[in-house]
Amino acid sequence: MAQTTAPKVLIVIGAGGMGLPIARRLGIGRHVLLADYSTTTLNIALETLHNEGHTVSSRPVDISSYSTVTALAQEASSLGPIDAIVHTAGVAPADSTARQIFEIDLLGTANIIDAFLPVVSPGTSMVCIASMAGGMIPVPPNLEHHLATAQRDQLLKHKDIDAEAQGEGAGMAYAVAKRGNQLRVQAAAVAYGRKGARINSVSPGVISTGLAQAQLSGPGGDLVRGVIDMSAMRRIGTPEDIVNAVAFLVSRESDFITGVDLLVDGGAVAGRKWTATGV
């Protein structure tokens, strides 16, 4: 009797606003393993994909805990060869403290990059969702080096990382964390490359997800609308805009692309930079 080959595995971490459409697009012909902190979000996404005919399973995960991310990576590797890992999970300044942002957005991404390295193989592609916010503040070179290379247990221990910041400190924490995501991905590219795998990040602009809608309706809503108005495209992004970028980065067409950040912001950073200089 001929042996059946296990399907390739797609892991999507964060099953909400961006994660579900990414799983839907990329999951065809793959075993989709969904992971999320919220069991409610996880169950909704699981049922949706199952009803649409996908092969799908799920596992709760707390990305701020390295041991639970490691367990997720081990389960993923037991399902078959890992084709792609897409990390979309995170929190936003509108409803999070600086500490939560650093522990989830910054340390959580480092945990995922490190935990999956032992189980990737030739052809695996990881994509981490960062943010255009990572390119909107100046970061001192010594902090950039720390964000890129510090050991996990030392990552949040730096004089410029203030986990107790209050008020507008959450917004600064978010920008630093997302810059850290971009740098961490870049620094991990060689280690992933030694295993024949690739790793990149996507930095969205303002995308119409639940997190963005919370920001638009919160105290900083006028600032967010100002970013959209100043952008080249002058519109809010859609999850599909991000799905298209991720689909490219996990495809064979991007085989020579690794260690880069793809800015998908409708020209928001460009508009902010060059409008401010009077060009």
254, burial (CB in 10 Å: exposed 0-12, middle 13-18, buried 19+): middle
3-state helix, strand, coil in the chain (%, to 5): 50, 15, 35
- Residue 238 contacts residue 265 (beta carbons within 8 Å): no
Identify the active-site residue in 174, 192, 195, 273: 174
Identify the active-site residue in 37, 66, 178, 192: 178
Strands, DSSP E only, in 92-236?
A: 125-129, 198-204
Instruction: Identify whether 37 is a catalytic site residue.
Output: no
Instruction: Identify whether 178 is a catalytic site residue.
Output: yes
- Residue 96 contacts residue 108 (beta carbons within 8 Å): no
Positive or negative: CA dihedral 41, 18, 190, 139:
negative
Q: Known catalytic residues?
A: 174, 178
